[in-house]
Every structure is written in structure tokens, then in C-alpha cells.
Amino acid sequence: MRPFLFRSRSVKRLFSASTTARRSKGEGDGATEENASSPRHADGSTLDKPPAKPNWRCFSYEEIRKATNGFHQDNLVGRGGYAEVYKGVMDDGQAIAVKRLTSASMEEQREKEFLTELGTIGHVHHPNVSSLLGCCIDRDLHLVFEFSSLGSVSSNLHDETSPPMDWKLRHKIAVGTARGLHYLHKECQRRIIHRDIKSSNILLTTNFEPQISDFGLAKWLPSDWSHCAVAPIEGTFGCLAPEYFMHGIVDEKTDVFAFGVFLLEIISGRKPVDGSHMSLLSWAKPHLNDGTMLVDPRLEDSYDLEQLERLTFIASLCVRAAAKWRPSMIEVLHLIEDGEILPDEWKVPDEEEEVEFWGFDDLDECDTPSSSSIGSPTQSFT
Ligand SMILES: Nc1ncnc2c1ncn2[C@@H]1O[C@H](COP(=O)(O)OP(=O)(O)O)[C@@H](O)[C@H]1O
Ligand SMILES: [Mg+2]
């Protein structure tokens, strides 16, 4: 079998020992060169918590070829900006999703994308984050995940041939996604910023449990950096925080902003940017004080008013133009899970009143083709 020829040193190291056996040590930790150096303190010492063993394994090409019926078109379940995803069934009956990187960008960039996702998701374990089973580097670059049988939130929410997604489910998705994001930001070994939170990157398990997926743009942030700056800017228009879009500044609040747009999408059933060229944010802005104006008309009266007001209030905080006035995900969780809603506590002081609101009227939704040319996180930090 022809193995993929890696260019970067860290990848060669990662796969040199064995490409077929289940990895028994944590040496694959920090798969990208960028990530391999980032989880250290400024003085060079390593993080407090030792990395846990990754529990993914290398699959052979034959295994995934057989499982996906030779990557048959009938097995193609999704196509994003970077990959084709095929459903497969292993010999033992386990359903898998094989993500084959298709980015037309340079080989080296594709490697980086692959390693970013592998190096990030290979170390996270949470019910609201999708589970990596392994990878295959024969012929091409493949990541293997547990199969999410119900597809993405986007495909369910915007499927015009099915009845509208009911309110209870929308609420469950909002809560689960908030838990997953809080875990990535604060509870897992490293601070992970996802950078591409949106409904097509949130998958649903058979119990409609949301799982954050697609870590191709994710960044690790050292604990003593307030943020990092990246270039070029990548992600999805309509979901990008202003400081990120304009200056490439990335921190947890980048994801908080995108989560706010995601909440508006769940509430309203509208896409972040649709064919009308009016962004969801611009449309929602005048109604952020009144959830009943935002709620998906297809739901008619079938929603919980208290939950609607709560989610609308949280969304209004998350999409604030100034990052410092957005809540953290732990604050979002507190508000979402019955915390007292005290608008005065969240009031922006008059002298800092936000004058401009971030809109995307003239932008189309699009995924930029590659994550590979992200600048090193050492470019800028405080
Ligand atoms: N584990 C999975 N189970 C089921 N469908 C999946 C899975 N992973 C991805 N998909 C489908 O494939 C689409 C693209 O996958 P994604 O990882 O977002 O790729 P990209 O990096 O190209 O955006 C998703 O929106 C979803 O519909
Ligand atoms: Mg995606």
C-alpha cells in the first residue's frame, strides 16, 4: 500500500514508529509543529497536566476501503470546504465516518489541516465533542470518526422537506453545544479554540446529543497567552467575530461570538447568511430584546417562552461587538441552565456603548479553502 509521503518533521516522527499498531504511548501528542510547541509556558516548561494517552489507532487503507464500499458515492454523507465524508461499516458492525481531505491546496497545507484536527481531537473526550477513532495515511489523508447517524444540526434545521425541528430539541442542542465549548475552552488538557463553530459542524448522535466536530481550524492557546493573532483569516462569514475578522485576533471569545450566531440560527431557523445577502445578525439586531420576533414562525406557538427569552438574551450578549463584553462559556452555561437573568449586570457602561454593530450585509457565506497558512501563534500575544 502506498503511504502518504509527509513533508513536515513532526509528522514523520509521529508516524515513523508504527503506522498500523494501536499507539500505546502519548508521543503523538501535539501533532503539528505549531501545536507541539504551543502547549508550553513562556519559560519553556510544559503544562501542569501530562497529556493523556491518545486512544485512536491507525486504520489500514484496506479496512476503510472495504467499510465504505470503495468510497462509493452512495456512501458520501457530507462535503465541507475541506473534505468529503463517507459512511462506512466495519466488519464488527461499527458505523464509522471516514473524512478524506480533499482541499485543493498544496500538499503541505493539507498535512497541516490533517494534523491540526488529529492533534486536537485526538485528545478530547466529552459527550458533546465528536470522537476520533483513528486515521489512515495510506494513499491519502483520512480521519476516522464514530458515525453520527442524524447528520449535522444544519441539515436537520434547514431541511424543508421535514417538519420543523421542535423547540425541545433546539434547546437541548444549545445546552449540549455550550457544554462542549466550555469543555474545550476550560476543562480539557489545553485551551482549544475551535474557530469554526456553526451548525454544519455540530453533529447529532442517535439521542440527538450535539457533538462539536471539524477541528481543522482549531488552535491551542498556551494558558498564559491572552490571545494569538493569525493570518489569513479563515472560518465562515456570518459567524466571525469582528476582532477576528479585522485583526485575526483569536481567543475564547471568537467561539463565543460564533456560538451567539449559532443560537440565533437555532431560534430563528435562518441561515447565518442566505441568498438575500442580509446576514442573520443584521436581521436579528433590532429584535434582540424580544425573542418572539426572532423565533422560527414554523414553530407557531410551540415553544417555551422562558427558554426562548433566556436563549435570546444569551445570544445578544455573545454577539456583542466588543469581545470583553461577551460572556465566557461558563457564564453562558450558568445563564442557560436556569441562572438568574439580570440584564443590569450585563449592561455595557454608557461611555463604552457599542456604536457600531457587526453586520455582514455584503458578504456571502463561504468557507475559505484551507487552514494551512495560519500564522504561527508566536506572532502576537500578550
Ligand atoms: N462523524 C460524522 N458522522 C456523520 N456525518 C458526518 C461526520 N463528520 C462529518 N459529517 C458530515 O460531513 C460534513 C462535512 O464534515 P466536516 O468535518 O465539517 O468537513 P469540512 O472540514 O470539509 O467542513 C458535515 O457537515 C456532516 O454533514
Ligand atoms: Mg465543516
Per-residue pLDDT reduced to its tens digit, 26-43: 333 333 333 333 333 333
Answer whether 236's CB lies under 8 Å from 199's CB. no
Predicted local distance difference test score (pLDDT) of residue 360 = 52
Nearest CA to ligand 1 atom 13: 78
Q: Which CATH class is domain 9-146?
A: alpha beta
Q: Which ligand has its closest atom nearest to the C-alpha of 204? A: 1
Predicted local distance difference test score (pLDDT) of residue 332 = 98
Q: Where are the domains of the chain?
A: 9-146, 153-371
Nearest CA to ligand 1 atom 10: 78
Mutate to test the pocket of ligand 1, among 129, 203, 208, 367 (most ligand atoms within 8 A of CB): 203
Taking the C-alpha atoms of residue 226 and residue 187, their distance in angstroms, rounded to an integer, is: 17
* Topology match between the domains 9-146 and 153-371: no
Residue 54 DSSP symbol: P
Q: What is the DSSP string of 319-356?
A: T-SSGGGSPPHHHHHHHHTT----GGGGPPPGGG---S
| Burial grade of 119 (CB within 10 A; 0-12, 13-18, 19 or more) | buried
Predicted local distance difference test score (pLDDT) of residue 22 = 40
Check the annotation: does 12 bind a ligand.
no
Taking the C-alpha atoms of residue 164 and residue 288, their distance in angstroms, rounded to an integer, is: 22
Q: Which ligand has its closest atom nearest to the C-alpha of 130? A: 1
- Residue 274: CB atoms within 10 A of its CB come to 15
Which protein residues are within 6 Å of ligand 1, measured from CB? Answer: 77-78, 80-83, 85, 97, 99, 130, 145, 147-148, 151-152, 155, 200-201, 203, 213-214, 216
- For residue 4, how far is its CA from the centre of ligand 1 (angstroms)? 22
Predicted local distance difference test score (pLDDT) of residue 4 = 62
Q: Which ligand has its closest atom nearest to the C-alpha of 83? A: 1
Q: What is the CATH number of domain 153-371?
A: 1.10.510.10
Predicted local distance difference test score (pLDDT) of residue 50 = 57
Q: Which atom of ligand 1 is nearest to the CA of 130?
A: 1
Q: Which atom of ligand 1 is nearest to the CA of 200?
A: 25
- For residue 339, how far is its CA from the centre of ligand 2 (angstroms)? 32
Predicted local distance difference test score (pLDDT) of residue 368 = 37
Q: Which of 43, 92, 159, 196 is catalytic?
A: 196
Q: Does the annotation mark 251 as catalytic?
A: no
- For residue 79, how far is its CA from the centre of ligand 1 (angstroms)? 7
Taking the C-alpha atoms of residue 191 and residue 185, their distance in angstroms, rounded to an integer, is: 5
Q: Return averaged pLDDT per consecutive 10 residues of the chain, 382 residues in all.
A: 58 50 35 36 43 81 98 94 92 96 71 87 92 94 95 95 96 98 95 96 96 93 86 85 92 97 98 85 94 97 96 97 96 91 86 59 39 28 27
- For residue 197, how far is its CA from the centre of ligand 1 (angstroms)? 13
- Residue 357: CB atoms within 10 A of its CB come to 14
Predicted local distance difference test score (pLDDT) of residue 256 = 98
